[in-house]
């Protein structure tokens, strides 16, 4: 009987291992790497100079279904965004058909001009579009006010504006089939000891914005910040603690 139970346990754990996503890391260059975090989601991590901050490592996400992809945030420059697009095509065998920036800063949509040059559709919070117009930046084509649902090979992408935080226009992107929340710069990694760049922040509303995100996306298993290491819902709680202290 013990032998039979032992065999069952081996089978159970064997199936569990087989069921886990085959996570990979692809080093494209010293400035760019792609890291798989779920069956259909990759994080692109780029390192480039950001005005006033020097070299900064920034995160974006790639959602792939079949041979098509949506991109959430670009590297800071058009040139590195071009490298990213080529890497997605060559290594991940997918073509980018849509793009959504988290907010108007260069570490979110610095590569928009290149994406538009190759015909990628762009979607953004209307507040981000207004900021882009004021600052003579490339302008996302399709705007939304509070929320927007997109489809990628029949799977839902939910874009939602919960309120101001890191900027007045920052949004989150929810991928329900993956239980992945791309929260961008409104959420800090666990190692962060402060809220970061406050030059365009909505400090007053940031805590309530994070509270809304925590309430709406209780099922999130992976939360991706704009910079640093991703994790689970604990990043939201950590961020709430940080931004509450500055109010």
Is 54 within a domain?
yes
pLDDT band at 143 (very low <50, low <70, confident <90, very high): very high
**Whether the predicted pLDDT of 17 surpasses 70:** no
Is 14 within a domain?
no
Range name among 7-11, 117-121, 190-194 with the lowest pLDDT average: 7-11
Write the DSSP string, 161-193.
----SSSTT--EEEETTTTEEEEETTS--TT--
**Whether the predicted pLDDT of 185 surpasses 80:** yes
CATH at 226 = 3.60.15.10
Q: Per residue in 37-91, pLDDT tens?
A: 999 999 999 999 988 889 999 999 999 999 999 999 999 999 999 999 999 999 9
Range name among 14-23, 27-36, 152-161 with the lowest pLDDT average: 14-23
Is 4 within a domain?
no
- The average pLDDT across 207-212 equals 98
CB 156 within 8 Å of CB 177: yes
- The average pLDDT across 100-125 equals 98
**Whether the predicted pLDDT of 18 surpasses 90:** no
- Strand ranges (E), 105-144: 121-125, 142-144
Is 92 within a domain?
yes
Q: What is the mean pLDDT of the chain?
A: 92
Give the domain range for residue 99: 23-245
Is 113 within a domain?
yes
**Whether the predicted pLDDT of 4 surpasses 90:** no
Is 236 within a domain?
yes
Is 96 within a domain?
yes
Identify the pLDDT of residue 196: 93
Q: Per residue in 6-15, pLDDT tens?
A: 333 333 333 3
Number of domains in the chain: 1
CB 207 within 8 Å of CB 165: no
State the pTM of this model.
0.90
Is 8 within a domain?
no
Q: How far apart are CA 237 and CA 220, in angstroms?
A: 13
Catalytic site positions? 103, 105, 107, 166, 185, 188, 197, 227
């Amino acid at each position: 009987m013990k032998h039979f139970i032992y065999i069952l346990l081996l089978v159970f754990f064997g199936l569990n291992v087989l069921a886990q996503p085959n996570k990979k890391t692809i080093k494209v260059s010293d400035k760019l790497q792609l890291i798989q975090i779920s069956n259909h989601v990759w994080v692109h991590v780029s390192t480039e100079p950001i005005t006033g901050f020097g070299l900064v490592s920034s995160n974006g996400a790639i959602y792939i279904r079949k041979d098509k992809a949506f991109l959430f945030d670009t590297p800071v420059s058009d040139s590195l965004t071009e490298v990213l697009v080529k890497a997605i095509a060559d290594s991940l065998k997918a073509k980018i058909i849509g793009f959504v920036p988290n907010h108007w800063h260069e570490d979110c949509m610095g590569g928009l001009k290149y994406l538009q040059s190759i015909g990628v559709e762009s979607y953004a919070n209307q507040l981000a579009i207004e900021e882009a117009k004021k600052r003579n930046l490339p302008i996302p084509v399709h705007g939304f006010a509070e929320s927007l649902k997109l489809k990628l090979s029949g799977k839902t992408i939910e874009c939602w504006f919960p309120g101001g935080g890191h900027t007045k226009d920052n949004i989150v992107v929810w991928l329900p089939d993956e239980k992945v929340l791309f929260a961008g710069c409104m959420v800090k990694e666990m190692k962060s000891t402060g809220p970061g760049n406050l030059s365009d922040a909505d400090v007053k509303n940031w805590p309530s914005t994070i509270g809304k995100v925590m309430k709406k996306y209780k099922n999130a298993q992976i939360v991706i910040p704009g910079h640093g290491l991703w994790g689970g819902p604990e990043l939201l709680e950590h961020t709430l603690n940080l931004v509450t202290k500055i109010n």
